[in-house]
Structure 1
């Protein structure tokens, strides 16, 4: 029995310094199988083979986060939402190894969660303070970390993560919506050449240029604050924080995207739209980003940035039917520009219920990172502001109908989605963000913007009347008077022109 005890002792004393494969090989080959089969009641150190196997797999390997991870993933541990994300924390067992946003199978153990953390987690879930899902940039950073370091796929995915694709998509959607809502006569006229129409090529330049401007602004935003992003669960998975790209590379990407974006808008749309795109980059990166650590007014500046893209879309469409010089005064401050300003106001108002609810679950992280946000400086006012601007969406939608941008149906359909967001904003204010009210308002705001934009396009003034006339074969009567007269004159003058040419022919 003395020999048996000596054979087991080295395994227990050095268990923390032996890797998994070596330890299993040691237990299988170096230790005789009969030592584990024969158990003696006089020596409690000898255990069965099955019990030792369970002990090794459950107790030892639960703290060894390198199991199941490839070499690349182990060198660059995946940062999860709400976790520390450091290699030391993962190796010491203080953090659960994560793959993306899901724990690795076989490594989680509910019994290993400390009691105080479990109580805190259950309390947070009961109050509705569950962290919101990871954004697209965090998911793309996780995907990029699994790719080869020198591959083009990794570079493309990292640059896409820098651009915040989900936010950029919403901005492009609002820009395209404003472009399509610009009133153009005879929208569905079969003889489309007889009336002016919006150019599809201009729309391509508009969406591409707006996307590139958004990518440039978002990349500059990440470039200026990686130190503070690392302190927050919402932003610590960004590519600059994780080291997927250097500051020089991010600056090159932001510069190239900004130049190409503004250039596309200048040559493919008009100078006014290009100026607005460049102005948005400057305000977002040069004013909004540093102001987040100075004053709570940064939220209003950020909302102003969000309201500029609809003006860009409206100015792009107005430039195609401008009757004067087509400068910024005519495109932005004429009588026909009211629709663009209403859409800009809608985007400005929408951002307060959206951001105020988004920032509530991580208000303490904002405070510790030094960001001056209303959610922790004055939480009661944070709810009032969200409710106030949610209610403001009602008169803005009414204004779109009043000024003949949309039809009467938009009043009904938009009121439903506006009422839903106001209801959630009311709960958010009354409950001060607790009991799931912040999460409810966040998801209401996420759905509100694309739904209202799509409804506005479906209820564009004259759209359904044109479809009805086209289906019934009725004659379109919404040509511009000047163009109709010019068309009649050109038709009536053609026979006289042929007669004149015939009389003047030398052969006759």
Structure 2
């Protein structure tokens, strides 16, 4: 009986090992690693803003194929930026709990392979926008990649506590690209949408930086929560939030939207501003409870998603 048990155990171990080493499993794992380099969760939020922007620019539903083409190009360009960012930050990613499992930090994918992959995605996105959508969208895409890879990743991230403010401009580009894809122009509504996301970025990202400030400090990245008090961070978040809400309200008449959007923008803005004020109150009076910065982080995602959904709804539905 013991011999049979040992044989069965050995066969199971061999079978398990062979299953793990199957070519298909290795292929799927490698594809998953490359997809992870593109930071799909970040891209998802960026693309959420693109479709409502295109609906606003077209004053209705744009061509399905134009939307699809813009999303394909947008994913490729944002993915290219993400890959280059992972390559540049591979040294600090390995020191941070939140990022230490990224494929370049673990060595699952080599630096050379990542550079080739990122370059292919970037060149594809520029050519795709130029020939399938229009040249202006391709030019704006090139600007977005340069802003994120050179402006943020190479220059700002390790040198200034305001890195995410100016580096975040790259994350605002999808609205300009989406607008240009429809109109072949950049007009005031698109610029205001750019400003909405620009001012939204600090109160969105700084709460995450508060939670992981130890990681950033250990890696030598001077995010504002690393070098400033929670009160200072929360105060600056409120300032950016007020500017963001102002931009959403100015968009109302400039884009010719209805009171449905206007009231929604005011209510959503009041709600998110209050969440930032609550963060400031807890930062100044710890006895009032846990700082709970991640609640503001998740709330910022809900806020931006709801705002852009209301833009689309306002345009589509006859009020």
- What is the rounded CA distance, in whole Å, between the counterparts of 1:312 and 1:174 in structure 2? 11
Look up the match of 2:298: 443
Look up the match of 2:205: 355
How many Å apart are 1:229 and its aligned residue? 0.5
Runs of 4+ in 1 over 6 A off after TM superposition: none
Which protein, 1 or 2, shows the higher relative CO under an 8 Å CA cutoff with sep ≥ 6? Answer: 2
- What is the rounded CA distance, in whole Å, between the counterparts of 1:411 and 1:155 in structure 2? 47
- What is the rounded CA distance, in whole Å, between the counterparts of 1:338 and 1:345 in structure 2? 11
Given that residues 182 and 317 in structure 1 are in contact (C-alpha distance below 8 angstroms), is that contact kept between their aligned partners in structure 2?
A: yes
Say which SS state the counterpart of residue 283 (structure 2) adopts: coil
Is 1:299 the equivalent of 2:150? no
Distance 1:146 1:169, change over 3 A: farther
Q: Could you tell me the TM-score, scaled by structure 2's length?
A: 0.87
Given that residues 229 and 241 in structure 1 are in contact (C-alpha distance below 8 angstroms), is that contact kept between their aligned partners in structure 2?
A: yes
How many Å apart are 1:146 and its aligned residue? 9.7
Is 1:273 the equivalent of 2:141? no
Distance 1:200 1:249, change over 3 A: same
Is 1:453 the equivalent of 2:308? yes
**1:47-86 mapped onto 2 (5 Å cutoff):** none
Q: Deviations over 1:17-38 (max 9, x none)?
A: xxxx9xxx9xxxxxxxxxxxxx
- What is the rounded CA distance, in whole Å, between the counterparts of 1:249 and 1:287 in structure 2? 23
**1:91-490 mapped onto 2 (5 Å cutoff):** 151-184=26-59, 187=60, 198-290=62-154, 291-319=156-184, 331-332=185-186, 337-379=187-229, 380-432=231-283, 435-460=290-315, 463-465=317-319
- What is the rounded CA distance, in whole Å, between the counterparts of 2:99 and 2:279 in structure 1? 24
Q: Deviations over 1:417-439 (max 9, x none)?
A: 22221111112222229614312
Q: Could you tell me the TM-score, scaled by structure 1's length?
A: 0.56
Given that residues 77 and 126 in structure 2 are in contact (C-alpha distance below 8 angstroms), is that contact kept between their aligned partners in structure 1?
A: yes
Say which SS state the counterpart of residue 158 (structure 2) adopts: coil
- What is the rounded CA distance, in whole Å, between the counterparts of 2:148 and 2:110 in structure 1? 21
Question: Aligned residue pairs: how many?
Answer: 303
- What is the rounded CA distance, in whole Å, between the counterparts of 2:23 and 2:224 in structure 1? 42
Distance 1:278 1:404, change over 3 A: closer
Q: Deviations over 1:262-306 (max 9, x none)?
A: 111111111111011111111111120122111123112222111
Say which SS state the counterpart of residue 101 (structure 2) adopts: coil
- What is the rounded CA distance, in whole Å, between the counterparts of 1:243 and 1:317 in structure 2? 41
- What is the rounded CA distance, in whole Å, between the counterparts of 2:22 and 2:135 in structure 1? 40
Larger radius of gyration: 1
- Unpaired segments ≥5 residues, structure 2: 7-15
- What is the rounded CA distance, in whole Å, between the counterparts of 1:343 and 1:230 in structure 2? 35
Say which SS state the counterpart of residue 151 (structure 1) adopts: helix
Given that residues 427 and 437 in structure 1 are in contact (C-alpha distance below 8 angstroms), is that contact kept between their aligned partners in structure 2?
A: no
- What is the rounded CA distance, in whole Å, between the counterparts of 1:360 and 1:377 in structure 2? 11
Given that residues 197 and 244 in structure 2 are in contact (C-alpha distance below 8 angstroms), is that contact kept between their aligned partners in structure 1?
A: no
Look up the match of 1:126: none
- What is the rounded CA distance, in whole Å, between the counterparts of 1:430 and 1:146 in structure 2? 54
How many Å apart are 1:376 and its aligned residue? 1.5
Given that residues 410 and 455 in structure 1 are in contact (C-alpha distance below 8 angstroms), is that contact kept between their aligned partners in structure 2?
A: yes
Say which SS state the counterpart of residue 75 (structure 2) adopts: helix
Given that residues 137 and 181 in structure 2 are in contact (C-alpha distance below 8 angstroms), is that contact kept between their aligned partners in structure 1?
A: yes
